[in-house]
Amino acid sequence: MTLIQTWVQTPLAQAIGWTLVHSLWEGALVALVLAAALWAFRSSRARYAAACLAMLAMLAGFGFTFTREMPRQRGHVAIIANAGIAWLPAGFEAPKGVVGHRAADSLPWLAPFWMVGVAIFHLRSLASWMSARHLRRTGVCLAPDHWRERLERLGARVRLSRPVTLLESCLAEVPVVIGYLRPAILMPVGLLAGLPAGQVEAILLHELAHIRRYDYLVNLLQSAVEGFLFYHPAVWWISGLIRAERENCCDDLVVATHGDAHEYAAALATLEQNRWSAREAAPAATGGNLMQRIRRLLNRPEAPRRALTPIFSAGILAITAAVVLMAWPSKAGAKAPAPAAPAGPAAQAERVQQMRVQLATPYTKWLTEDVAYIITDRERAAFKSLTTDEERELFIEQFWLQRDPTPGTVENEFKEEHYRRIAYANEHYASSVPGWKTDRGRIYIIYGPADEIESQPHSDASTYRSEQWRYRFIEGVGTNVVIEFVDSTGSGEYRMTRDVPGQSGGHVFSSTEPGARVTVEITSDRRMLIGIPIDFEARQYEIYGTTRRSDTGATVSVFSEMRSLCKDAPGTTGCLPQPVFQPFPVVTLGPGPYIFRAAVKDSAGTAQKTYTVNFTVD
């Protein structure tokens, strides 16, 4: 088990994995909305603002999804993490046919890749930032005074109050702005003297526009967002859009201030040309947007924009939606059990009849699936006696309300946890039988995640795959409860080999003595579950029990244990959290009449109680 395998099982990794998948469709959706907005907006400022908003929306979506996934995954993973078997052996693999389980399981593996990517992109940004600082300091000198005075006047014209340093650089290829607190304009050395003054002014105005709009800072932040969402094509599309519209905004400002679009366009073209003559061996790269900008400046019809990305986004949206749906059916199904009453005009009597059946189904499902393991017999009987759906709705509401640990709040933690357990069981224990119906599913839903899980993979033909679940404490059952599951058919459906009292739906017999009663429950497969009450005070109890056949007198099982109540001896192993003792292991009986005798004795004093239960096994 490597470190990364362990890490992938943490809630953080799971949450990141899910967040990444969700952000795919979220981002695609944002891109589609942005595409629609761009179609409506003509002005560069509006388009720029829309693109910036879209980028923020993508980031916010990511953050929001993550904060929602994190607590969910924390609950989810606890079971496996506690069990100390972070990377389960092959025997624990999902049964085939449950695509969602596999997809969901491999999701956390996205997290380490994503983190490496984020680190790389941010390191790259850091290097860029450092080299920009270097560029500002090396091979530069202050521009001649008359140019700096001109810059000041130009700054006043675009209502820029911050001081701007004008530098000439022998390393900069093109005029650039560096810094946002103390911004500097770097001009390639010689350009100030080499171009017509009007053109230089136009270019300086463009740079001042960048400074006034805080473009350097925005660009830094933009690079940071790119670094987080680098895996999403939409973020690169939006980012490119922001860069392009940013230049257009500055161009607009130059033309508005300077007046001569043609001179400005000529200046840009000259700049670009200078850049070429500087280096002979430069590759013939295409993809700059200067062409479009100059067409725009000269009011020439623009070449048709490529609208590939929105289409691409639609594709991503469809694919991720499919993936999420595939990976999520069990969760979604269990999370939304609310009966949706289909409304609609019922034209034919047959359809009305059909609808009645459908309406009945959600409540039946609620009783026989959703709460099958936690509803009491009395509640079940009461629910069955209800006649109208209003009553049933009210009953269900009350049912959950009674179990809400914090009745004052909107959240019902009990209900949420219950449906989470169902979802978990469906996701992890499904075979040919739905997860919630399996033994492991049932125990998980009733008692929650085990504190420890030991699983034995299939070692040779004679042994079966099995799991032992250990609970330190189960309310109403006892401490150190071990439940064993064996996949005896090899189908992936693990069967419980020992039963837990009260959950088997068998016959219950009680002791006849007055006062507290010992119960003996015989399950449908003839296992004997015993509950012995402890109803007097003592530091330590000796508990004895014998089971005999009442016809032959043969002893079937005997136990004797010494226990304390946990409240009297906290931290003791094997103490009883409840004043009820339930012996393990459980014996299986043949048909016949039996007598069970039990005694509870104060091991230091004389207090003693004895119980007798007569029962028959069919």
Partner 1 sequence: MPDSPPRPTDAELELLTVLWSRGPSTVREVHETIARRRPTQYTTVLKQMQIMAAKGLVSRDEKQRAHVYAAAHPREWTERYLAGDFLRRAFNGSASRLMVGALSARKTSKQELAELRRLLDEYERGTP
Site for partner 1, rule CB under 8 A = 124-125, 127-129, 131-132, 134-135, 138-144, 168-171, 174-178, 188-190, 192-193, 203, 206-207, 210, 215-216, 219-220, 223, 243, 246-247, 250, 262, 265-266, 268-269, 271-273, 275-279, 281-282, 284-291, 294-295, 298, 300
Closest separation between CB of residue 146 and partner 1, Å? 12
Closest CA to 296 of 257, 239, 247: 247
- CB of 274 vs partner 1, minimal distance in Å: 10
CB of 273 to partner 1, least distance (A): 6
**Closer to partner 1 at the Cβ: 242 or 327?**
242
Separation between Cα atoms, residue 207 and residue 184, nearest integer Å: 9
**Complex with partner 1: residue 94 or 253, whichever CB lies closer:** 253
CA dist 263 to 152, 297, 540, 580, Å? Answer: 21, 10, 100, 94
Judge residue 20's burial from the number of C-beta atoms within 10 Å of its C-beta, 0-12 exposed, 13-18 middle, 19 or more buried.
buried
Closest approach, Cβ 215 to partner 1, in A, equals 4
Min CB(324)–partner 1 separation in Å: 33
Shortest Å, Cβ 53 to partner 1: 20
Helix (H, G, I), strand (E, B) or coil at 482: strand
Contacts for 65 with CB less than 8 Å, ≥ 6 apart: 18, 19, 22, 23, 26
Instruction: Give me the least distance between CB of 51 and partner 1, in Å please.
Output: 15
Least CB distance from residue 445 to partner 1, whole Å? 53
Other C-beta atoms lying within 10 Å of the C-beta of residue 567: 11
Q: Give the nearest distance from C-beta 242 to partner 1 in angstroms.
A: 11
Which H helix or E strand runs over 608? strand 608-617
Task: Give the shortest CB-121-to-partner 1 separation in angstroms.
Answer: 11
**Dist. CA 248–CA 297, nearest whole Å:** 9
Q: Single out the residue of 599, 598, 591 nearest to residue 615, CA to CA.
A: 591
User: How many residues are given for the chain?
Assistant: 618
CA end-to-end span of the chain: 50
CB closer to partner 1 out of 287 and 345? 287
> Which C-beta is closer to partner 1: that of 134 or that of 365?
134
**Two tokens at 14?**
């799971």
CA atoms within 13 Å, Cβ hemisphere of 545: 28
CB of 416 to partner 1, least distance (A): 46
* Structural contact between residues 379 and 367, judged by C-beta atoms closer than 8 angstroms: no
Q: Are strands 184-188 and 165-169 parallel, antiparallel or unpaired?
A: parallel
Query: Which of 131/491 has CB closer to partner 1?
Result: 131
Closest CA to 104 of 420, 325, 422, 425: 325
CB of 176 to partner 1, least distance (A): 4
Query: How many other C-beta atoms lie within 10 A of the C-beta of residue 45?
Result: 14
Instruction: Give whichever of 107 and 191 is closer to partner 1, judged by the CB atom.
Output: 191
Residue nearer to partner 1 on the CB measure, 219 or 504? 219
Instruction: Give the residue with the Cβ less far from partner 1, 268 or 317.
Output: 268
The closest of 254, 413, 408, 239 to 309, measured between CA atoms, is: 239
Nearest one of 161, 253, 246 to 202, comparing CA atoms: 253
Closer CB to partner 1, residue 143 or residue 422? 143
Q: Which is nearer to partner 1, 176 or 450 (CB)?
A: 176
Min. distance of Cβ 118 from partner 1 in angstroms? Answer: 17
Rounded to whole angstroms, the Cα distance separating 581 from 331 reads 37
Identity of the residue, 212 or 440, whose beta carbon is nearer to partner 1 in the bound complex:
212
Q: Which is nearer to partner 1, 239 or 578 (CB)?
A: 239
Q: Is the Cβ–Cβ distance between 481 and 576 less than 8 Å?
A: no
Smallest gap from Cβ 265 to partner 1, in A, equals: 6
H-run or E-run covering 176 = strand 176-178
Name 261's Cβ contacts closer than 8 Å, sequence gap at least 6.
Answer: 255, 297, 298, 299
| Closest C-alpha to 458, from 96, 94, 97, 90 | 90
Q: At what angle do helices 11-40 and 44-83 cross, to 10 degrees?
A: 160
State which residue, 205 or 453, has the beta carbon closest to partner 1: 205
Structure token pair of residue 308: 């590939």
The 8-class DSSP code of residue 142 comes to E
Task: Sheet with 452-456: list strands edge to edge.
Answer: 452-456, 465-474, 478-487, 495-496
Q: Which is nearer to partner 1, 1 or 282 (CB)?
A: 282
